[in-house]
Amino acid sequence: MAYSLLKRVYTAFNPPSEPKTAEPLKFGILGAARIAPPALIQPAKSHPDVVVYAVAARDINKATKYAKKWGIEKVFGGKGSYQELLDDPQVDVVYNPLPNGLHYEWTMKALQAGKHVLLEKPSSNSAEETRKMFELAEKNGLVLLEAFHYRFHPAIQRLKAILDSGELGTIKSIESMLHIPKGFVGEDDIRYQFELGGGALMDCGCYTVSSTLYLASSTPSEVPTAKALTVPTNPHIDRAMTATLAFPAPKSNITASISGHLSNPNKWGILPKLGEIYVKVECEGGEATLGNFVMPTIYHWIEVKKTGNGGKVERRVEKAYIWPAGQKDAKGEEWWTTYRFQLEAFVDQVRGRKPQTWMTAQESIDNMKTIEMIYAKAGLDPRPASTYVLPAEPDASTVPV
C-alpha cells in the first residue's frame, strides 16, 4: 500500500510526456498564476491533444521566466499582454486563472475572441455575471467550464453513485468542510482582497457549496444561518464562513452545513488539522463520508456505514482512484489528478466527444446564487460587480452594405 501510494503521488507530480497529435489544441494562460502548473501545465504533458502554447503576464520578465520554466513557446508581457494572447489566432483555448474579480471581464473577452475557456473557480463574483458568460459561450458555440476539478474524479462520482443507488436510503443531512491550515495563505494574497473577489466562501468555501448542491441534486431555497469570521482590517473579507442550507421540496428534508476557512488554527498551536477536508452525508439507512474530496489522488477514503435490520452497522471503506472496471469508455490512471480528469473531459467536450462527466452552466450559476445568499445572510456585502461592459454589437440595420 505504501508503495502504491508513493508511486501514485510521484507520478501525479511527475507525469509522463505523451507524444502529441498532429494538431493539438493550443492553450494560452492569462497570468503567470501559481495554480496553472498543477491545474493545467502538468496535466497537459500526458494529454496527447493538448499543448500549453502561450502565457501572458503583466510583467514581461515574469512571463519570460515562467515560460522558460514550464517550456511554453509563446510569451506575451506587459500591460496589453492579456488581450494580445486573446488576439493570437493560434490560441484555441484560454485558461483563466486570474483573481476571481477578473474572471468575468477576461472570460467575456476570450469568448468574444472566439476561444473556448477553462475558467477557474469560483466562476465570477455573482450569479448574474456567470449567467452572462455562459450565455455568450452558448451564443458563440464555445465550450466554457468552471474548473471545479474535484467533480471529474472517480472518488466524488463513486460517492454520488452510492447515494443515488438508494443503498443508504434518502439523504437526511450533508456536511461539507474545507479548512486550509494556518500559514498557507498570506495576508497579502488575492484571497484577502475584496476588490478582487476574495473571501473564504469564494475560495475554499465554494467547493463546500458545490459539493453540497451536487450531492443533494438540488439548489438551496434558503440560507437559515450564516456566520463569518471577518478580517479585523477588512470587514468585507471572511477569513472563515459557516452556513446552513435549506432545500425546496422534494429535498426539504435535507439539512446541510458548509464550512470554509482560509487560516484554520493548528491543533495545540503546532499541528495542522489536515483532516478537515471532507463531505459527509447522513441518510435514513446509514452514512457515507468522502475524506479529502478536493485532492483525492494523493489519498482519500469513502467510508460507508450501513444500518441493517436490528440496527447492526456494517462498515466498509472504498477507494476510487479510477473508474470501476468494465465501465464503458473509462479513461484514466490511478495517478491522474482531479485536474487531469478534468482536462480529459474538457478536451472531449471541445472535440465533440461525450465527456465521462460534466458540470453544467446551471450548476455554476446555482453555485454563485448560493454564495450570494450566504454573504447576504452573514451580513457581508456581495463581491463587487465587474465594471466591464460588453461592447454593443453593430445594429444590422445601420451597417453600410
Ligand X SMILES: NC(=O)C1=CN([C@@H]2O[C@H](COP(=O)(O)OP(=O)(O)OC[C@H]3O[C@@H](n4cnc5c(N)ncnc54)[C@H](OP(=O)(O)O)[C@@H]3O)[C@@H](O)[C@H]2O)C=CC1
* Residues making contact with ligand LJPVP2WV (CB under 6 A): 180, 203-204, 294
Minimum distance between the CB of residue 141 and ligand LJPVP2WV, rounded to whole angstroms? 29
Q: What gap in Å lies between CA 290 and CA 288, rounded to an integer?
A: 7
Please report, as a single letter, which amino acid is at residue 314.
Answer: E
Partner in contact with 204, chosen from ligand X, ligand LJPVP2WV, none, beta carbon below 5 to 8 Å by kind: ligand LJPVP2WV
Partner in contact with 100, chosen from ligand X, ligand LJPVP2WV, none, beta carbon below 5 to 8 Å by kind: ligand X
Q: What gap in Å lies between CA 87 and CA 309, rounded to an integer?
A: 65
Catalytic position from the list 109, 121, 132, 160 = 121
Nearest partner of 346 among 20, 27, 23, 12, judged by Cα:
27
Please report, as a single letter, which amino acid is at residue 37.
Answer: P
Q: What is the DSSP string of 24-72?
A: PEEEEEES--TTHIIIIIHHHHT-TTEEEEEEEESSHHHHHHHHHHHT-
Asked if 279 and 159 count as a contact pair (C-beta separation under 8 A), the reply is yes
Partner in contact with 58, chosen from ligand X, ligand LJPVP2WV, none, beta carbon below 5 to 8 Å by kind: ligand X
**Is residue 31 a contact residue for ligand X (CB under 6 A)?**
yes
- Cα dihedral 276/279/280/281 (nearest 10): 160
Minimum distance between the CB of residue 182 and ligand LJPVP2WV, rounded to whole angstroms? 13
Residue closest to ligand LJPVP2WV, measured at CB: 203
Minimum distance between the CB of residue 52 and ligand X, rounded to whole angstroms? 15
Q: What is the DSSP string of 88-115?
A: -TT--EEEE-S-HHHHHHHHHHHHHTT-
Residue closest to ligand X, measured at CB: 31
Minimum distance between the CB of residue 32 and ligand LJPVP2WV, rounded to whole angstroms? 16
Window 226 to 245, contacts with ligand X (CB under 6 A): none
**Is residue 58 a contact residue for ligand X (CB under 6 A)?**
yes
**Is residue 43 a contact residue for ligand X (CB under 6 A)?**
no
Minimum distance between the CB of residue 120 and ligand LJPVP2WV, rounded to whole angstroms? 8
Helix (H) or strand (E) holding 303: strand 301-307
Please report, as a single letter, which amino acid is at residue 159.
Answer: L
Q: Please name the residues in contact with 95: beta carbons below 8 A apart, sequence gap of 6 or more.
A: 27, 28, 29, 30, 36, 39, 40, 117, 118, 120
Per CB under 6 A, the list member of 121, 158, 160, 261 interacting with ligand X is 121
Task: Build a one-symbol-per-residue string for 181-220: x at contacts with ligand X by CB under 6 A, - elsewhere.
Answer: ---------x-----x------x-----------------
Question: 212: helix, coil or strand?
Answer: helix
Minimum distance between the CB of residue 207 and ligand LJPVP2WV, rounded to whole angstroms? 7
Q: Is 121 considered catalytic here?
A: yes
Nearer to ligand X, 38 or 169 (CB): 38
Question: 182: helix, coil or strand?
Answer: coil
Residues involved in catalysis:
121
- Interface residue list for ligand X (CB under 6 A): 31-35, 39, 57-58, 62, 97-100, 102, 120-121, 147, 149, 190, 196, 203
